[in-house]
Chains A and B, each alone.
Chain A
Amino acid sequence: MNKIIEKYNLSEHVAKFVIEAPMIAKSRKPGNFVILRIGEKGERIPLTIVDSDIEKGTITLIVQNVGVSSGKLCQLAAGDFITDLVGPLGKATHIHKAGTILALGGGVGIAPLFPIVKAFKQAGNRVLTVLAARSKDLIILEKEMREWSDEVLVMTDDGSSGRKGLVTEGAEEFIKREKVDECVAIGPAIMMKFCALTTKKYDIPTQVSLNTIMVDGTGMCGACRVTVNGETKFTCIDGPEFNAHQIDFDELLQRLRAYKNEEDQAKNKK
């Protein structure tokens, strides 16, 4: 059982949790995720660690209320307990000095992008960040991102914040303006697919972090299979980050819908 120390609502559907987990706080690296479970009949859900505080012994998670399990988590408040929390899992991001990094975050994907932006900046890179979402209230961590980026461009579908347009338009603006050495993109699978297509045009090595369906998160079940460069990989132990230009995104999108019927039924029931 892990105690929730603080909780903030970042928007109507997005909440930030600071959770007591001293060992994970100490051992986690950017790119790692945890699996948590709420309640004795709860589902195991993976969430990327956004930040940690070794001294306070806490980790930060950000979650969007999209289904039954994330909904249960979002209902918890400071002082409540997470039934089960395990991690850090997955391979850490390969942080190095590459030169100029283009960081693309879509929606709640901005949360897992944050530790990577921070780490690349700390490693001495120039970091250009694009934050994109449907509308203003879904743009999260803008202040923190500005703190760790050399430049931040905000894009919204409806123009309610920053510029009106898609994440790829923002990305191309940077790419056309200056030399970009590497790109990292995190967000909905469809957004990552189009980011990959864009950077491929310019031959920019690109990493994406996948949020696939998982059960155990330790390699045991294989629900998180993804085809990378023609080979089947497990997101939980081989990823969650992969070379974006090698991922079979259409298969990934299909696999993410595997439990759509069951999920819809569950949402309607509760």
Chain B
Amino acid sequence: MTENNETLNKGRNAQWRVELRNSVPNKDRVALERVKMTEVEPHERIKSQVCEVNCGLTAEQAVTEARRCMDCVTPTCVEGCPVNIDIPRFVKQIEAGKFLDAAATLKEYSALPAVCGRVCPQEKQCEIKCFYTQKMKKDPVAIGYLERFAADYERQSGKIQIPQVEARNGIKVAAIGSGPSSLSFAGDMIKLGYDVTVFEALHEIGGVLKYGIPEFRLPNSVVDVELENLKEMGVNFEKNFVVGRTASFDDLKELGYKAFFVGSGAGLPNFMNIPGENLNGVMSSNEYLTRVNLMYANQSDSDTPVMLGKRVAVIGGGNTAMDAVRTSKRLGAERSIIIYRRSLEEMPARVEEIKHAMEEGVEFMNLANPVEYLPDTTGRVAKARLQRMKLGEPDASGRRRPVPIDGDIVELDVDLVIVAIGVSPNPLIPACLPGLKMTRYGTIEVNEETMQSSVPEIFAGGDIVRGGATVILAMGDGRRAAASMHRYLQEKYAKK
């Protein structure tokens, strides 16, 4: 990353940055309090699946927040960012009121800034590395809010800038899946001059951004604008196309594709394999969220149904569990309950999601784990039998292991159970490529630096490699894969 450090430094020494830095004494910057995100009131927002909870910052709020950033000599925040955004540059551009420039800076690094500004766990990435967090034990600069501000400002200004792309080099590459890793890959490859096609199995582009994350957290219209940018840059999108099925890898090679990026995701929901799990009214969070987010099953003019519950239990403590439980509230549940086998402290969901869920009236039944579901007379789930747990010694993940309390089993009345305990890699692609080396977890084995698989022309990233992670980590994989595929293709083809 020394190359990146040089770029960062060069930018930092630009005259406008120096002047801006000197214009406000550091003690005044430090004295400012971190901005509070305006949110729609809980009782209002739970009336709608599409009402975004966070309202975004005003220009004034953004400039003030950006002023807190001290434009450090060694910006550790950048190290925390999986796609290495030049954070101080875009933050200072906001402080200087150059909002469109800030958006352009983001787009140099990220194909989806408006998305990342909303769903990245900044508190675990850039913001945890912020000078304020690290050295002053104060609230970090709200980098995520500022990212969202710049991206939203640009979108709403009507002056959307399309990043520069190099002259077409005529080399065809494919991305498989259209989630965050593939989109990030496609954005970088199109900039480098490749002929890029993104293949998607579903009828909508966006992967988990569309079928998974609900609109109250990430509006589809925000995703669509970012997709439109990629289209403007020249990326082709093929929907309703299952690579390996609709056409084989060999078919695509015959059509001239020289290399592939597999970002097919971890689209296989895990179940607990406990009695009663196949009762009606027990479903995966993928199914529940897909019906609502992708198929609009909650709208009256949609042909797709969704089961509604009055007493909804969501099993799991991750972001997906929060998305599902908050969706159930919005679809009219009287009780929406998180059932999690550890305690609140170990919960993997973002702090913000947990807070929002609590504000919306979601109940948390921690240290409980379902062991069986019982039906009513019609065969629909009516009760969950829950094993009470206590915390034992830390396990491999460093979190304290949940241990069952002997004989302590409670029954909970439920009429809908949503299982959100994680996903496994989708086996469709690996099944089509017998030569591809897999790990014992069913993920594609890649070189961690280059994201190259055991088949030289196939690269992979995101959840098909990680098994279940975040949007931004997937995007980082996409970027790294693009950089190394570029080297690979240049060596192989460009010299001819």
Q: When the two chains form their complex, are residues B296 and A41 in contact, meaning their CB atoms are under 8 A apart?
A: yes
Most buried by A among B202, B239, B301: B202
Q: When the two chains form their complex, are residues B379 and A216 in contact, meaning their CB atoms are under 8 A apart?
A: no
- The interface on chain A, measured as residues whose beta carbon lies within 8 A of the other chain's beta carbons, has a size of 42
Q: Chain B interface: which of A108-116, A135-143, A199-207, A252-260? A: A252-260
Min CB–CB distance B347 → chain A (angstroms): 24
Q: When the two chains form their complex, are residues B295 and A68 in contact, meaning their CB atoms are under 8 A apart?
A: no
B203 contacts the other chain (CB 8 A): yes
Q: Which residues of A contact B211 (CB under 8 A)?
A: 216, 220
B interface secondary structure, majority: loop
Q: When the two chains form their complex, are residues A216 and B268 in contact, meaning their CB atoms are under 8 A apart?
A: no
Q: When the two chains form their complex, are residues B201 and A232 in contact, meaning their CB atoms are under 8 A apart?
A: no
A215 in contact with B242 given A27-B248, A43-B303, A86-B201 (CB within 8 Å): no
Min CB–CB distance A37 → chain B (angstroms): 6
Beta-carbon contacts of A231-263 to B below 8 Å, as 1s and 0s?
Answer: 010100100000000000001001101110011
Q: When the two chains form their complex, are residues A41 and B247 in contact, meaning their CB atoms are under 8 A apart?
A: no
Q: When the two chains form their complex, are residues A232 and B278 in contact, meaning their CB atoms are under 8 A apart?
A: yes
Select which of A69, A218, A259 is within 8 A of B267 by beta carbon.
A218
Q: When the two chains form their complex, are residues A219 and B428 in contact, meaning their CB atoms are under 8 A apart?
A: yes
Q: When the two chains form their complex, are residues B428 and A218 in contact, meaning their CB atoms are under 8 A apart?
A: yes
Q: When the two chains form their complex, are residues A216 and B307 in contact, meaning their CB atoms are under 8 A apart?
A: no
Q: When the two chains form their complex, are residues A43 and B246 in contact, meaning their CB atoms are under 8 A apart?
A: no
Beta-carbon contacts of B398-432 to A below 8 Å, as 1s and 0s?
Answer: 00000000000000000000000000001110000
Q: Which residues of A contact B302 (CB under 8 A)?
A: 41, 43
A105 contacts the other chain (CB 8 A): no
Name A41's closest neighbour in chain B (CB-CB).
B302
Q: When the two chains form their complex, are residues A41 and B301 in contact, meaning their CB atoms are under 8 A apart?
A: yes
B305 contacts the other chain (CB 8 A): yes
Q: Which residues of A contact B279 (CB under 8 A)?
A: 254
Name A231's closest neighbour in chain B (CB-CB).
B273
Q: When the two chains form their complex, are residues B246 and A23 in contact, meaning their CB atoms are under 8 A apart?
A: yes
Q: When the two chains form their complex, are residues B202 and A89 in contact, meaning their CB atoms are under 8 A apart?
A: no
Q: When the two chains form their complex, are residues B202 and A216 in contact, meaning their CB atoms are under 8 A apart?
A: yes
Min CB–CB distance B460 → chain A (angstroms): 17
Q: Which of A35-89 contact B (CB under 8 A)?
A: 37, 39, 41-44, 68-69, 72, 83-89
Roughly how many angstroms separate A255 CA and B280 CA in the complex, as a whole number?
Answer: 6
Min CB–CB distance B23 → chain A (angstroms): 52
Roughly how many angstroms separate A255 CA and B248 CA in the complex, as a whole number?
Answer: 34
Most buried by A among B269, B291, B301, B306: B269
Min CB–CB distance B26 → chain A (angstroms): 50
Min CB–CB distance A83 → chain B (angstroms): 8
Name B212's closest neighbour in chain A (CB-CB).
A220
Q: When the two chains form their complex, are residues A219 and B426 in contact, meaning their CB atoms are under 8 A apart?
A: yes
Min CB–CB distance A205 → chain B (angstroms): 24
B283 contacts the other chain (CB 8 A): yes
Q: Which residues of B contact A222 (CB under 8 A)?
A: 268-269, 271, 283-284, 286-287
Roughly how many angstroms separate A259 CA and B378 CA in the complex, as a whole number?
Answer: 12
B490 contacts the other chain (CB 8 A): no
B105 contacts the other chain (CB 8 A): no
Roughly how many angstroms separate A222 CA and B267 CA in the complex, as a whole number?
Answer: 10
Q: Which of B164-180 contact A (CB under 8 A)?
A: none
Min CB–CB distance B297 → chain A (angstroms): 9
Select which of B239, B281, B284, B301 is within 8 A of A221 by beta carbon.
B284
Roughly how many angstroms separate A170 CA and B271 CA in the complex, as a whole number?
Answer: 40
Q: When the two chains form their complex, are residues A88 and B245 in contact, meaning their CB atoms are under 8 A apart?
A: yes
Roughly how many angstroms separate A184 CA and B295 CA in the complex, as a whole number?
Answer: 34
Q: When the two chains form their complex, are residues A86 and B284 in contact, meaning their CB atoms are under 8 A apart?
A: no
Select which of A72, A88, A215 is within 8 A of B290 by beta carbon.
A215
Q: When the two chains form their complex, are residues A219 and B268 in contact, meaning their CB atoms are under 8 A apart?
A: yes
Beta-carbon contacts of A3-21 to B below 8 Å, as 1s and 0s?
Answer: 0000000000000000000
Roughly how many angstroms separate A262 CA and B280 CA in the complex, as a whole number?
Answer: 13
A225 contacts the other chain (CB 8 A): yes
Q: When the two chains form their complex, are residues B267 and A215 in contact, meaning their CB atoms are under 8 A apart?
A: no
Name A256's closest neighbour in chain B (CB-CB).
B280
Roughly how many angstroms separate A89 CA and B428 CA in the complex, as a whole number?
Answer: 10
Select which of B245, B269, B291 is within 8 A of A89 by beta carbon.
B245
Q: Which residues of A contact B202 (CB under 8 A)?
A: 86, 216, 218
Q: When the two chains form their complex, are residues A86 and B290 in contact, meaning their CB atoms are under 8 A apart?
A: no
Q: When the two chains form their complex, are residues A86 and B426 in contact, meaning their CB atoms are under 8 A apart?
A: no
A24 contacts the other chain (CB 8 A): yes
Name A253's closest neighbour in chain B (CB-CB).
B379
Q: When the two chains form their complex, are residues A237 and B290 in contact, meaning their CB atoms are under 8 A apart?
A: no
Name A69's closest neighbour in chain B (CB-CB).
B303
Q: When the two chains form their complex, are residues A43 and B304 in contact, meaning their CB atoms are under 8 A apart?
A: yes
Q: Which residues of B contact A87 (CB under 8 A)?
A: 242, 245-246
Q: When the two chains form their complex, are residues B303 and A84 in contact, meaning their CB atoms are under 8 A apart?
A: no
B240 contacts the other chain (CB 8 A): yes
Min CB–CB distance A54 → chain B (angstroms): 13
Q: When the two chains form their complex, are residues A254 and B203 in contact, meaning their CB atoms are under 8 A apart?
A: no
Select which of B278, B305, B379, B426 is within 8 A of A218 by beta carbon.
B426
Min CB–CB distance B301 → chain A (angstroms): 5
Q: Which of B317-348 contact A (CB under 8 A)?
A: none
B241 contacts the other chain (CB 8 A): yes
Min CB–CB distance A269 → chain B (angstroms): 9
B277 contacts the other chain (CB 8 A): yes
Q: When the two chains form their complex, are residues A223 and B240 in contact, meaning their CB atoms are under 8 A apart?
A: no
Q: Which residues of A contact B241 (CB under 8 A)?
A: 86
Name A251's closest neighbour in chain B (CB-CB).
B278
Q: When the two chains form their complex, are residues A216 and B305 in contact, meaning their CB atoms are under 8 A apart?
A: no
Q: Which residues of A contact B267 (CB under 8 A)?
A: 216, 218-220
Roughly how many angstroms separate A165 CA and B304 CA in the complex, as a whole number?
Answer: 37
Select which of A23, A43, A218, A259 is within 8 A of B201 by beta carbon.
A218
A266 contacts the other chain (CB 8 A): yes
Roughly how many angstroms separate A226 CA and B306 CA in the complex, as a whole number?
Answer: 19
B4 contacts the other chain (CB 8 A): no
B299 contacts the other chain (CB 8 A): yes
Roughly how many angstroms separate A37 CA and B239 CA in the complex, as a whole number?
Answer: 13
Q: Which residues of B contact A234 (CB under 8 A)?
A: 268
Given contact pairs A44-B295, A88-B245, A89-B242, enumerate 20 new A-B contacts (beta carbons under 8 Å). A27-B247, A41-B299, A41-B303, A42-B303, A44-B203, A86-B240, A87-B245, A215-B291, A215-B304, A216-B201, A216-B267, A218-B267, A220-B211, A220-B290, A222-B268, A222-B271, A225-B271, A237-B428, A258-B281, A262-B307
Q: List 22 A-B contacts (CB under 8 A).
A: A23-B247, A24-B246, A27-B245, A43-B303, A84-B239, A215-B287, A215-B291, A215-B295, A216-B211, A218-B242, A218-B428, A219-B427, A219-B428, A220-B211, A221-B283, A232-B277, A232-B278, A254-B280, A257-B379, A258-B281, A258-B307, A266-B303
Chain B residues within 8 Å of A, Cβ to Cβ: 201-203, 211, 239-242, 245-248, 251, 267-269, 271, 273, 277-281, 283-284, 286-287, 290-291, 295-296, 299, 301-307, 379, 426-428
10 closest A-B pairs by CB: A262-B305, A221-B287, A43-B303, A86-B240, A220-B267, A84-B203, A258-B280, A222-B284, A43-B304, A254-B379
